[in-house]
Amino acid sequence: MRNGSVQHRPFFKVLVANRGEIALRVMRSARKLGLGVIAVYSDADRDALHVREADQAVRIGEALPAQSYLNVPAIIEAAKASGADAVHPGYGFLAENEAFARACKDAGLVFIGPSPQAIEAMGNKAGAKEIMKKAGVPIVPGYQGAEQGDEVMFAEAGKIGFPVMIKAVAGGGGRGMRLVTDAASFPEALRSARSEAKAAFGDAAVILERAIQNPRHIEIQVFGDRHGNAIHLGERDCSVQRRHQKLIEEAPSPAVTPELRAKMGEVAVSAVKALRYEGAGTLEFLLDQSGAFYFMEMNTRLQVEHPVTEAITGLDLVELQLRVARGDPLPVKQQDIRFSGHAIEVRLCSEDAAQDFMPQSGRMARWQVPEGIRVEHALQPGSEIPPFYDSMIAKVISHGANREEARGRLIVGLEQLTAFGVTTNQAFLLSCLRHPGFAKGEATTAFIGTHRDELLAPRAGAAFERALAGLLLYVTSPRAPWWQGGRSLAATFPLPARIEIAGHAHALDIMRERDGSYTVIADGCQEKFEIDQLDPDAVRFRHAGVMDSAKFLRDGERLYVQHRGIPLGLTDLTLAAPKAAASNGGDGKVRAAMNGRVVAVLVKPGDRVTAGQPVLTLEAMKMEHVHKAAIDGVVSAIHVSEGEQVTTGRIVAEIGAGSATNAVS
């Protein structure tokens, strides 16, 4: 499976067939080697940072991935039009697409990655398992057959025994993956996994695996070259996940001993040599509590979490990819690899953790990254977060002499990062990093599921933060006197206010005291503040004898506040009419929770439904989201059809009282 048939030759201009932070990351290393860089973009990314930072940029289609970043002919034509002689696929999209690698080769372009044959062999989960099984690598019991009929899949799931995992054959990143705990929920989970896999990878085929309870997710970074050399760069622990997608990654793993690392590394290198593999790759394993490990899949590309390996090895993995692709031997041997300290990465995502990690899109009104810590991103104030692509918008990476130092630096870095305008998982990431289980290095893939209530629980200072936010809303309001400081001899009266935070309304009373301080009563708690300095974007204040500060952004009736790394977005409802109680669906209207595409309509007019019953499914940021009925009743109208793009808040279905005309199975 060597790239022996590929003409290795120098290349001078690299087209990056991707977007966002990974496009900029590849460009950085390419330029370090003196290479020109070319970006591609969809209509949604016309003004994106990766487009402006490239030497050249070529439009490849409309916003949806199938019309742009998954459009092989358009990307090949872009390479020809711009004079590129090599293509780097990044990760996601076409990075593990054998047809794309072959199309690059046929067009005379150097594909910066393994051969089409290697991608085909290892990018397909079923085929990879068979290869590894023959090589003596332990694999998880399951079904990888070509027969994909519903009845066959259901029967095979029964043979394996529940719980089982459904996994997309053609991809990774948690797309097309479902954990099924019982036979009754298998048919819908299978349909949903196929739909998501088809949308993300263009292939609806899936495999089944026995679900191993509470494992660690451990992966080994490998590299091979055309000269037969192969090395591993140690492991990464990617156990902290939501929706089967990694959220926190670290190297080395707290659970891997030097002996286990050597054993797993030896297995991985043996596989690379057997495949005669070229370029960067990752072998992923499940590690159970007894220390046994099972091969899951091989990613024939660069990984999102590669920066933690770079941090502990001092190597530039993208540079290694580029050198191997032009035919150079690997510049390091296994005995040269040294591991230094500990590194942790978190994925900052535009999602609402409190709403089942619902993807969020919109405009990033303010974006500031901390100094002294690595942040991979492609954002700036005013950047649009489109609803069509992955929800990950940045990666924050820390490195320390040991794990606790790395964890502390990452917490401080996240506290200093500012992302106003779009809801992110910033606060949730901080909760994870501070959790005692994570601090002790005990997190398995069940970490978020087990501790979800704790991780999402209201913080001890939540009432104080609401009071501070309410005060800032008042003192920055164009309808209220601007803060003047100093003392006032005038009589003061409580000023009532209403604010909305995360969909919940809160009543406040704000009083300006004679000494110039403020008293805020929020949710029954009384807080006193002295404002020392009020700038356009930050405030310094005294509270309970402590000088403190917070960042904020006023955007009309909307205010964003961040105190000690915890962002709040609130709306002034003081002069607004009360919201209808039915806006949450209590009026029988099912509203789109995000901008997205309708992938399944699960009921029809006349069907009787019960509260909590799935009505339709939207796909946004590569993930499916089921919308459910809020009340019992009969479906009176469906206002959308499969394939249609809808906007947040649009009424997609209506449920009312009446007699059912269709039976619901």
| Residues 385, 45: Cα–Cα separation, whole Å | 9
Structure tokens at 182: 């019982």
What DSSP string describes 412-435? Answer: HHHHH-EEESS--SHHHHHHHHHS
- Are 576 and 562 contacting, i.e. CB atoms less than 8 angstroms apart? no
SS3 585: coil
Last residue of a domain, one of 518, 538, 572: 572
Query: What string of H, E and C letters represents the secondary structure of 49-71?
Result: HHHHHCCEEEEEECCCHHHCCCC
pLDDT at 365 over 90: yes
Q: Are 156 and 91 in the same domain?
A: no
- Strand order, beta sheet including 651-656: 589-591, 651-656, 633-638, 608-609
Average pLDDT score over residue span 455-471: 88
The strand pairing partners of 499, in sequence order, are: 506, 572
pLDDT at 496 over 50: yes
Last residue of a domain, one of 456, 480, 500: 456
The strand pairing partners of 40, in sequence order, are: 58
Domain harbouring 617, CATH code: 2.40.50.100
Expressed in percent and rounded to 5, the helix, strand and coil fractions of the chain are: 30, 35, 40
| Residues 109, 306: Cα–Cα separation, whole Å | 25
CA 494 to chain centre: 44
Helix (H) or strand (E) segment spanning residue 397? strand 392-400
Helix (H) or strand (E) segment spanning residue 263? helix 258-275
Of residues 485 and 44, more confidently modeled: 44
Of residues 59 and 516, more confidently modeled: 59
The domain total for the chain is 5
pLDDT at 228 over 90: yes
pLDDT band, residue 99 (cuts 50/70/90): very high
The strand pairing partners of 230, in sequence order, are: 224
Q: Are 279 and 393 in the same domain?
A: yes
Active site residue 236: no
- Are 110 and 35 contacting, i.e. CB atoms less than 8 angstroms apart? no
The strand pairing partners of 357, in sequence order, are: none
For residue 482, what pLDDT is reported? Answer: 44
Structure tokens at 506: 């809160």
Could you tell me if residue 500 is left (phi over 0), alpha (psi between -120 and 50 degrees) or otherwise beta? Answer: beta
| Residues 502, 568: Cα–Cα separation, whole Å | 8
pLDDT at 3 over 70: no
| Residues 362, 47: Cα–Cα separation, whole Å | 14
Domain harbouring 511, CATH code: 3.30.700.40
- Are 628 and 612 contacting, i.e. CB atoms less than 8 angstroms apart? yes
pTM of the shown model: 0.84
Residue 530 lies inside a defined structural domain of this protein: yes
Last residue of a domain, one of 516, 537, 572: 572
pLDDT band, residue 1 (cuts 50/70/90): very low
Residue 78 lies inside a defined structural domain of this protein: yes
Catalytic residue among 216, 301, 374, 597: 301
Q: Are 448 and 470 in the same domain?
A: no
For residue 489, what pLDDT is reported? Answer: 43
Range of the domain at 22: 13-112
Q: Are 357 and 306 in the same domain?
A: yes
Residue 648 lies inside a defined structural domain of this protein: yes
Residue 128 lies inside a defined structural domain of this protein: no
Domain harbouring 406, CATH code: 3.30.470.20
Q: What percent of the chain has pLDDT over 90?
A: 68
* pLDDT tens profile 540-555: 999 999 999 999 999 8
For residue 31, what pLDDT is reported? Answer: 98
Q: Are 333 and 422 in the same domain?
A: yes
Strands (E), 252-328: 279-287, 293-299
Residue 136 lies inside a defined structural domain of this protein: no
Residue 582 lies inside a defined structural domain of this protein: no
For residue 658, what pLDDT is reported? Answer: 62
